[in-house]
Structure 1
Amino acid sequence: MNKQLKPLKKVLLLVVHCTATKCNRPFSVENLIACGEAKYGQCSYHYYVRRDGEVIPLLPETVQGVHARHYNYCSLGIVYEGGLNEQGKACDTRTEAQKHALYELLKELTAEYSQARIVGHCELPHVAKDCPCYFPSREYANLQPK
């Protein structure tokens, strides 16, 4: 990593993203990290959920990612592989394995960070993106803080 990583202040949000890559083409961990380092000087996300459901920790939960402008200081970034269909259109391409892995990861994280709300990148104010191509706040409503 090229730059000094900033400490994460408090985890108030769990922000779900997609890699915005075609569902029929693998996107390696190395490529994901390289994209973040090329654009921001560091890896962007805390967790990567592969198509087979493997969850790969990337950044420590104690440092800021660079995945959600204005919210990096108080959020963890979780990204799933995919988000574009075979024609390159934005689409919820999560496999059943990814859906299960995302749910289990978010369940663990909300147990650890009880005040953290789950949102999709597209659900943050002033974000004009389809990412992650579904609405995590609704899908994981049962995991949201009471």
Structure 2
Amino acid sequence: MELSKRVVSGLGIGSFVYLLLLLMSSKKIVNSNSIIFVFCISIIIGLATLIFDIDRFSFLTCLVIHYLIVNVVVTLGSFFLMSVENYTELLTSILVIYALSYLVTYIKMRATSRELDSLIKIIQSRDKK
């Protein structure tokens, strides 16, 4: 079950970022290769978040490892499935997309934390009665 949640989360975040980038770019043509590419990359990146479950690594170490995995997967995927003309631009794009994805994930986690905090307060107030 945990793996399926990560896959779905990766697909959701990856799709959101991809659509956001399409909205901001001048390239408006979407083909089946790019959709399959985004789905595959999003699933792999979602599964790569399992690295954050390893307790012996610090959060920063996990973040760096995850970022490197993202770079390798996106670069290899771009090389085999898409035509890349400028790898510096690709790596810059990966950094920007990663930062956007991290921001979306952070906001999502903050919202979940607030929801859990309010539920805890409700439970604690019931226990006091």
Task: Name the TM tier (shorter chain).
Answer: 0.3 to 0.5
Using the size of structure 1 for normalisation, the TM-score is 0.31
Which has the greater radius of gyration? 2
More strand as a share of residues: 1
More helix as a share of residues: 2
Using the size of structure 2 for normalisation, the TM-score is 0.34
